[in-house]
Amino acid sequence: MNWEELYYEYSDRVYQFLMMMVGDEEIAEDLTHDTFLRVKNSLEKYRGDASYYTWIISIARHIVYDHWRKKRIIRFIPLAASKPVADYHTPDEILQKGEEIRELYEAMKKLKTNYQEVIILRKIQELSIEETSLALGWSVSKVKSTLLRALAALKIELVKRREGGSANEQTMA
């Protein structure tokens, strides 16, 4: 594949990943641009050990860390706008699903960065364990164990948020 084909094939997914990591559209656009510049400059070094997408996400991940180091940002900033919810029929269902997605992202921002990354890549971007392993530079067993811990931590955060919400509602009543 040439650079243009890679860009057209993967830029939307890379942007989505970066948006989830930084939470700002303009920064995500800039980082997507930086990612594909690096892809263009490194394409001749691509060895084919991983899929193009896995290789590009690995580059995007390094671009995010470089950005955070420059800005001294070390924590996750959630996706401000969730994916469109076109599969729901009634306005109430759409609102409910939007609230659940917002709650999920709010809980995710409480997790460690490596937990956020593995959840985004495995559960949101739907990479395989092997692809996630290559993208993160981890062993397959580390991806599996970290994902289990990350999902457990996310569940705890969601329970805390729900219990906190119902406690606040009770005090207001």
Give the pLDDT confidence of 76-112 residue by residue, as tens digits: 444 444 444 444 445 555 556 666 777 888 888 889 9
Instruction: Give the separation between CA 106 and CA 158, rounded to whole angstroms.
Output: 9
Instruction: Give the separation between CA 111 and CA 61, rounded to whole angstroms.
Output: 17
Instruction: Give the separation between CA 143 and CA 51, rounded to whole angstroms.
Output: 17
- Give pLDDT, residue 49: 82
State the pLDDT confidence band at 40, using cuts at 50, 70 and 90.
Answer: very high
Domains of the chain: 1-74 (1.10.1740.10), 89-173 (1.10.10.10)
Closest CA to 153 of 122, 111, 123: 111
- Give pLDDT, residue 29: 94
Element (H, E) at 41: helix 25-42
pTM: 0.63
